[in-house]
Structure 1
Protein backbone atom coordinates (compact mmCIF):
# COMPACT_ATOMS: atom_id res chain seq x y z
CA UNK A 1 0.00 0.00 0.00
CA UNK A 2 1.15 3.52 -0.74
CA UNK A 3 0.00 6.89 0.53
CA UNK A 4 -0.77 9.66 -1.95
CA UNK A 5 -1.43 13.30 -1.14
CA UNK A 6 -3.67 15.29 -3.48
CA UNK A 7 -3.37 19.06 -3.17
CA UNK A 8 -6.25 21.19 -4.45
CA UNK A 9 -5.63 24.44 -6.34
CA UNK A 10 -6.57 26.23 -3.10
CA UNK A 11 -3.94 24.29 -1.12
CA UNK A 12 -6.19 21.83 0.75
CA UNK A 13 -4.55 18.43 1.14
CA UNK A 14 -6.13 14.97 1.16
CA UNK A 15 -3.83 12.04 1.94
CA UNK A 16 -5.23 8.60 1.19
CA UNK A 17 -4.11 4.97 1.12
CA UNK A 18 -3.77 3.56 -2.38
CA UNK A 19 -3.96 -0.08 -3.37
CA UNK A 20 -0.98 -1.40 -5.30
CA UNK A 21 -1.95 -2.21 -8.87
CA UNK A 22 -4.38 0.70 -9.02
CA UNK A 23 -3.55 4.12 -10.47
CA UNK A 24 -3.28 7.57 -8.99
CA UNK A 25 -6.45 8.48 -10.94
CA UNK A 26 -8.48 5.49 -9.74
CA UNK A 27 -7.36 6.13 -6.16
CA UNK A 28 -8.61 9.72 -6.44
CA UNK A 29 -11.97 8.60 -7.82
CA UNK A 30 -12.35 5.89 -5.14
CA UNK A 31 -11.71 8.50 -2.46
CA UNK A 32 -13.92 11.26 -3.90
CA UNK A 33 -11.01 13.60 -4.54
CA UNK A 34 -12.37 16.67 -6.30
CA UNK A 35 -10.46 17.79 -9.35
CA UNK A 36 -9.89 14.41 -11.02
CA UNK A 37 -12.54 13.57 -13.61
CA UNK A 38 -11.22 10.59 -15.57
CA UNK A 39 -13.85 10.73 -18.31
CA UNK A 40 -12.20 8.00 -20.39
CA UNK A 41 -11.86 5.59 -17.47
CA UNK A 42 -8.09 5.62 -17.43
CA UNK A 43 -7.33 4.99 -21.10
CA UNK A 44 -5.26 8.16 -21.64
CA UNK A 45 -7.80 9.49 -24.14
CA UNK A 46 -9.22 12.58 -22.44
CA UNK A 47 -6.59 14.33 -20.25
CA UNK A 48 -9.17 14.95 -17.49
CA UNK A 49 -6.90 13.36 -14.89
CA UNK A 50 -4.02 15.79 -15.43
CA UNK A 51 -1.89 16.43 -12.33
CA UNK A 52 1.31 18.20 -11.41
CA UNK A 53 3.67 15.78 -9.66
CA UNK A 54 5.83 17.17 -6.88
CA UNK A 55 9.01 18.13 -8.70
CA UNK A 56 11.27 16.29 -6.24
CA UNK A 57 9.39 13.05 -7.03
CA UNK A 58 8.87 13.48 -10.77
CA UNK A 59 12.09 11.80 -11.92
CA UNK A 60 11.28 8.70 -9.85
CA UNK A 61 8.23 7.89 -11.98
CA UNK A 62 8.29 5.75 -15.11
CA UNK A 63 8.93 7.75 -18.29
CA UNK A 64 6.06 9.36 -20.19
CA UNK A 65 4.89 7.20 -23.10
CA UNK A 66 4.26 8.77 -26.53
CA UNK A 67 0.47 8.56 -26.19
CA UNK A 68 0.58 10.29 -22.79
CA UNK A 69 2.89 12.93 -24.24
CA UNK A 70 0.28 13.70 -26.91
CA UNK A 71 -2.56 13.99 -24.39
CA UNK A 72 -0.53 16.28 -22.13
CA UNK A 73 -0.43 18.73 -25.03
CA UNK A 74 -4.24 19.14 -24.91
CA UNK A 75 -4.90 19.57 -21.17
CA UNK A 76 -7.32 22.27 -20.03
CA UNK A 77 -4.87 23.76 -17.56
CA UNK A 78 -1.38 24.67 -18.73
CA UNK A 79 1.09 21.86 -19.16
CA UNK A 80 4.18 22.17 -16.98
CA UNK A 81 7.46 20.28 -16.83
CA UNK A 82 6.00 18.13 -14.02
CA UNK A 83 2.65 17.36 -15.70
CA UNK A 84 1.43 13.78 -15.88
CA UNK A 85 -1.84 11.96 -16.51
CA UNK A 86 -2.72 10.34 -13.20
CA UNK A 87 -4.26 7.37 -15.04
CA UNK A 88 -0.77 6.49 -16.25
CA UNK A 89 0.88 6.44 -12.82
CA UNK A 90 0.58 2.96 -11.34
CA UNK A 91 0.46 2.60 -7.59
CA UNK A 92 3.48 0.71 -6.28
CA UNK A 93 5.43 0.84 -3.04
CA UNK A 94 7.96 3.00 -4.90
CA UNK A 95 5.52 5.93 -5.07
CA UNK A 96 4.64 5.87 -1.37
CA UNK A 97 4.41 9.49 -0.23
CA UNK A 98 3.67 10.84 -3.72
CA UNK A 99 2.31 14.39 -3.78
CA UNK A 100 0.26 15.57 -6.74
CA UNK A 101 -1.22 19.01 -7.23
CA UNK A 102 -4.51 19.33 -9.04
CA UNK A 103 -4.88 21.90 -11.82
CA UNK A 104 -7.47 24.67 -11.84
CA UNK A 105 -9.64 22.84 -14.38
CA UNK A 106 -9.94 19.49 -16.13
CA UNK A 107 -12.77 20.26 -18.52
Structure 2
Protein backbone atom coordinates (compact mmCIF):
# COMPACT_ATOMS: atom_id res chain seq x y z
CA UNK A 1 0.00 0.00 0.00
CA UNK A 2 1.57 3.34 -1.04
CA UNK A 3 2.30 5.95 1.61
CA UNK A 4 0.48 9.26 0.98
CA UNK A 5 2.67 12.32 0.48
CA UNK A 6 3.06 14.72 3.41
CA UNK A 7 0.70 17.72 3.43
CA UNK A 8 2.00 20.81 1.72
CA UNK A 9 2.92 23.76 3.89
CA UNK A 10 0.89 26.82 2.96
CA UNK A 11 2.92 29.90 2.08
CA UNK A 12 2.43 33.02 4.20
CA UNK A 13 0.28 34.65 1.58
CA UNK A 14 -2.47 32.03 1.70
CA UNK A 15 -2.36 30.87 5.32
CA UNK A 16 -4.80 33.56 6.34
CA UNK A 17 -7.74 32.56 4.18
CA UNK A 18 -9.35 29.88 6.30
CA UNK A 19 -9.98 30.41 9.96
CA UNK A 20 -10.11 27.69 12.56
CA UNK A 21 -13.23 25.54 12.00
CA UNK A 22 -14.63 26.62 15.38
CA UNK A 23 -14.24 30.33 14.65
CA UNK A 24 -17.91 30.81 13.79
CA UNK A 25 -19.38 29.14 16.86
CA UNK A 26 -21.31 31.16 19.44
CA UNK A 27 -18.54 30.95 22.03
CA UNK A 28 -15.75 32.31 19.80
CA UNK A 29 -14.31 35.67 20.82
CA UNK A 30 -15.52 38.31 18.38
CA UNK A 31 -15.03 41.94 17.50
CA UNK A 32 -17.41 44.43 15.90
CA UNK A 33 -16.69 45.42 12.30
CA UNK A 34 -18.60 48.09 10.38
CA UNK A 35 -18.71 47.77 6.59
CA UNK A 36 -19.45 50.85 4.50
CA UNK A 37 -21.03 49.34 1.42
CA UNK A 38 -20.78 50.55 -2.17
CA UNK A 39 -24.30 52.00 -2.04
CA UNK A 40 -23.39 54.16 0.97
CA UNK A 41 -25.20 52.02 3.55
CA UNK A 42 -23.52 50.57 6.63
CA UNK A 43 -23.61 46.97 7.85
CA UNK A 44 -22.32 46.10 11.33
CA UNK A 45 -21.30 42.50 12.02
CA UNK A 46 -19.52 40.38 14.59
CA UNK A 47 -16.23 38.93 13.35
CA UNK A 48 -14.41 36.08 15.09
CA UNK A 49 -10.83 36.81 16.15
CA UNK A 50 -8.43 35.29 13.59
CA UNK A 51 -10.70 35.55 10.56
CA UNK A 52 -9.86 37.76 7.59
CA UNK A 53 -12.03 40.70 6.57
CA UNK A 54 -12.64 38.86 3.30
CA UNK A 55 -13.86 35.76 5.12
CA UNK A 56 -16.11 37.87 7.37
CA UNK A 57 -17.58 39.64 4.34
CA UNK A 58 -18.32 36.33 2.61
CA UNK A 59 -19.91 34.93 5.78
CA UNK A 60 -22.32 37.88 5.92
CA UNK A 61 -22.93 38.07 2.14
CA UNK A 62 -21.15 41.41 1.83
CA UNK A 63 -20.13 42.13 -1.74
CA UNK A 64 -16.35 41.63 -1.69
CA UNK A 65 -15.28 39.36 -4.50
CA UNK A 66 -11.99 37.69 -3.56
CA UNK A 67 -11.57 36.18 -7.05
CA UNK A 68 -8.25 34.47 -6.19
CA UNK A 69 -9.68 32.98 -2.97
CA UNK A 70 -7.05 34.76 -0.88
CA UNK A 71 -4.07 33.31 -2.70
CA UNK A 72 -2.70 36.85 -2.96
CA UNK A 73 -3.02 36.90 -6.74
CA UNK A 74 -5.57 39.67 -7.37
CA UNK A 75 -6.87 42.91 -5.90
CA UNK A 76 -10.61 42.20 -5.91
CA UNK A 77 -10.82 42.21 -2.09
CA UNK A 78 -9.41 45.75 -1.88
CA UNK A 79 -10.78 47.64 1.13
CA UNK A 80 -10.10 51.04 2.66
CA UNK A 81 -9.58 51.34 6.41
CA UNK A 82 -9.69 54.26 8.78
CA UNK A 83 -6.17 55.52 9.51
CA UNK A 84 -6.47 54.67 13.22
CA UNK A 85 -6.97 50.97 12.41
CA UNK A 86 -4.69 50.90 9.37
CA UNK A 87 -1.82 51.97 11.64
CA UNK A 88 -2.46 48.99 13.95
CA UNK A 89 -1.83 46.41 11.21
CA UNK A 90 1.43 44.76 10.23
CA UNK A 91 2.94 46.44 7.20
CA UNK A 92 1.78 45.08 3.87
CA UNK A 93 4.12 42.67 2.14
CA UNK A 94 5.73 43.71 -1.12
CA UNK A 95 3.40 41.31 -2.96
CA UNK A 96 0.32 42.88 -1.37
CA UNK A 97 1.57 46.36 -2.26
CA UNK A 98 2.13 45.29 -5.87
CA UNK A 99 -1.44 43.99 -6.07
CA UNK A 100 -2.85 47.10 -4.43
CA UNK A 101 -1.18 49.15 -7.18
CA UNK A 102 -3.64 47.45 -9.59
CA UNK A 103 -6.71 48.30 -7.48
CA UNK A 104 -8.91 51.12 -8.74
CA UNK A 105 -9.71 53.76 -6.14
CA UNK A 106 -6.51 53.18 -4.17
CA UNK A 107 -6.20 55.22 -0.96
CA UNK A 108 -3.37 55.70 1.53
CA UNK A 109 -5.11 53.29 3.91
CA UNK A 110 -5.95 50.60 1.33
CA UNK A 111 -5.33 46.94 2.13
CA UNK A 112 -6.42 43.62 0.72
CA UNK A 113 -9.27 42.19 2.79
CA UNK A 114 -7.68 38.74 2.74
CA UNK A 115 -4.67 40.15 4.59
CA UNK A 116 -6.53 42.07 7.31
CA UNK A 117 -6.95 39.64 10.20
CA UNK A 118 -9.49 40.44 12.92
CA UNK A 119 -7.81 41.03 16.27
CA UNK A 120 -8.95 42.63 19.55
CA UNK A 121 -7.19 45.91 18.75
CA UNK A 122 -9.32 46.23 15.59
CA UNK A 123 -12.63 46.11 17.50
CA UNK A 124 -14.94 48.78 16.09
CA UNK A 125 -13.06 49.28 12.82
CA UNK A 126 -14.83 50.53 9.74
CA UNK A 127 -14.05 48.84 6.44
CA UNK A 128 -15.01 50.85 3.36
CA UNK A 129 -15.65 49.03 0.11
CA UNK A 130 -14.38 50.93 -2.93
CA UNK A 131 -17.03 51.81 -5.51
CA UNK A 132 -15.38 49.57 -8.15
CA UNK A 133 -12.97 46.65 -8.27
CA UNK A 134 -10.93 45.10 -11.03
CA UNK A 135 -12.57 41.82 -11.95
CA UNK A 136 -10.45 39.52 -14.08
CA UNK A 137 -13.54 37.85 -15.56
CA UNK A 138 -14.59 39.52 -18.79
CA UNK A 139 -18.11 38.08 -18.77
CA UNK A 140 -19.15 39.65 -15.47
CA UNK A 141 -19.08 36.31 -13.60
CA UNK A 142 -18.63 36.71 -9.86
CA UNK A 143 -17.31 33.55 -8.18
CA UNK A 144 -19.04 32.42 -5.00
CA UNK A 145 -16.94 31.50 -1.94
CA UNK A 146 -16.52 27.78 -1.30
Corresponding residue of 2:95: 67
8 Å Cα contact 2:66-2:76 kept in structure 1: yes
Structure 2 SS opposite 1:103: coil
Corresponding residue of 2:82: 54
1:91 pairs with 115, 118, 143, which one? 118
Q: 1:1-107 counterparts in 2 under 5 A?
A: 1-34=30-63, 36-75=64-103, 77-106=104-133, 107=135
Cα deviation, 1:39-65, whole Å, max 9, x if unaligned, reads 111122111100010123211111111
CA RMSD of aligned residues (A): 1.1
Q: Which runs of 5+ in 2 are unaligned?
A: 1-29, 136-146
Structure 2 SS opposite 1:25: helix
Question: Number of residues paired by the alignment?
Answer: 105
TM-score normalised per structure 2: 0.68
Structure 2 SS opposite 1:67: helix
Structure 2 SS opposite 1:16: strand
TM-score normalised per structure 1: 0.91
Larger fraction in strand:
1
Q: Which runs of 5+ in 1 are unaligned?
A: none
